[in-house]
Structure 1
């Protein structure tokens, strides 16, 4: 699931999209006094921080310090949180990434996937409006392989501002639409948050993109400029081989439609109503046409069930 998810988002450090909701700020922040690298500038919530280089050996376990406590809601499993962050390796004095420069907080599905485990553990139970500093050991970060400019076995230090949070529906819930075409896949209509069953026929796949309502919601139609929080299940048409999805980890993922790299998903979702479940049959040329990627054959026909849950 994570490998496929990584092919369906823009390649930022973690994932990406726009923020929503209001800030509920706590008191002004102060530099760390708990042995974590000092915040040397931009100490207040909402300001881009700078971090000193860590001193001595880094903590072997996750260490989280609340620099300033917010007064907003407590983050819980199933919430979608928007977080501004700056990340730096313990033994470096320059960040490898930050969202402050982009002016775009990062979406995190609490209790789901899509981010390193250290982020999930650090954010769980925190309040909106809080500024945190966290030291994340390699086994909760990018491990022995590293990531991009991040060295193998690196201890990571993050300053995180929890900008906002909202609850996300567990499932699409709309009017059932008849699935009469025997030459197209059938998709389950359950609304319990579990993966809908995909039943793919043995006939030849369609040559054009199919984007059909399974459950038709009542929300606004999505535009190319929107972001959308989704759950999905995917399979290859050939042999009905499962490709996974987000349901197994009860996670969501956020797609910013003007950045999603898969043409068939983008074209199939734009114009569909928020709150719907949509079946996509993506023909060769609109999926991953150039080469095999993460076990998905070149020019494969793909089948998706996508729940369009909410806007971020």
Structure 2
């Protein structure tokens, strides 16, 4: 089965490979604080920090220092959280990446396997509004393979993370069931038990224009083109009838985060924008709004794509 995220979204730092960071110069001080490199400038929440180079042997286990504790709710597994961060190798005085310079916070669902294990474990149980420093041993980071060229094999990593917000993710869309009267469009199940809805593609010619219809209309705010949304979905090609599934978050037991400014599949993005959070939506994207005449990782060229998508939250 083809993973949709790899086809639709610009890869993010912690999903697969680390991007080159800024050229900020770290402090020459090798000072340490509670077993982790000291923050040498920008220590307050919201400020871009700089870190000293690690001294001595790095910690063998995950280590978390709470630099400043927020007053918000405690994060838990399954929450969608938004953070700013700076990441640096233990034996370096320069960051390999940071979100502060980009001006774009990073969105991740805790415990969903979207990031390295050290992040999932280190950020769970922290209060929103907190700044934490996390020391991550290789086995909870990128391991023996590293993430060339920025992260060497068996690297211990140090992150400073500001937890900006957290959202509890419901298991399913909920709301008003909307009649599906067009026999020439796919029929989507309306279950709200957190399991994958059925999708039945008719033996008919696919539409030539984008379809974006409510199956269940939620009561949340409308999604904008600048939002990041947390979704569950089933994705199929229209042909051959009754449709061929090529991806499903339900099969993996993990939601997906779609930062809409980075979503490269026009039909999917346009189908989500304007719809209410909490809804289930049928989206049918013709080839001109999907992958066109290109074959993508086994998805045939000129394919019409079908999505049954729950918009569970937006960040």
Range into which the TM-score falls when normalised by the shorter chain: 0.7 to 0.9
The Cα of 1:286 is off from its aligned counterpart by: 1.7
Q: Superposition RMSD on alpha carbons, in Å? A: 2.7
1:71-128 Cα distance to aligned partner (Å, 9 max, x none): 3211112322221110112222211211122333222212224222221111111122
Could you state the TM-score of these two structures normalised by the residue count of structure 1?
0.83
Cα gap change, 1:32/1:230 in structure 2, threshold over 3 Å: closer, same or farther?
Answer: farther
2:283 is aligned to 280
- 4+ residue runs over 6 A deviation: none
2:171 is aligned to 170
- The answer to whether the 8 Å contact 1:32/1:67 transfers is no
1:20 is aligned to none
1:242 pairs with 2:227: no
1:30-61 Cα distance to aligned partner (Å, 9 max, x none): x8533222222112222211112223443343
What's the secondary structure of 1:213's corresponding residue? Answer: strand
1:18 is aligned to none
1:263 is aligned to 266
Aligned equivalents of 1:153, 1:290: Cα separation in 2 = 42
**Alignment: residue pair count:** 297
The within-5 A match list for 1:1-312 is: 3-14=3-14, 33-143=33-143, 144=145, 146=147, 149-239=150-240, 240-289=243-292, 291-312=294-315
- The answer to whether the 8 Å contact 1:118/1:140 transfers is yes
The Cα of 1:200 is off from its aligned counterpart by: 2.5
Cα gap change, 1:168/1:203 in structure 2, threshold over 3 Å: closer, same or farther?
Answer: same
- The answer to whether the 8 Å contact 1:134/1:157 transfers is yes
The Cα of 1:306 is off from its aligned counterpart by: 1.2
Aligned equivalents of 1:242, 1:147: Cα separation in 2 = 33
What's the secondary structure of 1:97's corresponding residue? Answer: strand
Aligned equivalents of 1:138, 1:292: Cα separation in 2 = 37
Cα gap change, 1:226/1:125 in structure 2, threshold over 3 Å: closer, same or farther?
Answer: closer
Aligned equivalents of 2:219, 2:128: Cα separation in 1 = 29
1:133-178 Cα distance to aligned partner (Å, 9 max, x none): 1122333333416166333443322111112222232221121122
Aligned equivalents of 1:73, 1:190: Cα separation in 2 = 30
- The answer to whether the 8 Å contact 1:172/1:276 transfers is yes
Stretches of structure 2 lacking an aligned partner (at least 5 in a row) = 16-30
Cα gap change, 1:268/1:154 in structure 2, threshold over 3 Å: closer, same or farther?
Answer: same
- The answer to whether the 8 Å contact 1:280/1:305 transfers is yes
Aligned equivalents of 2:297, 2:56: Cα separation in 1 = 39
Could you state the TM-score of these two structures normalised by the residue count of structure 2?
0.82
Stretches of structure 1 lacking an aligned partner (at least 5 in a row) = 16-30
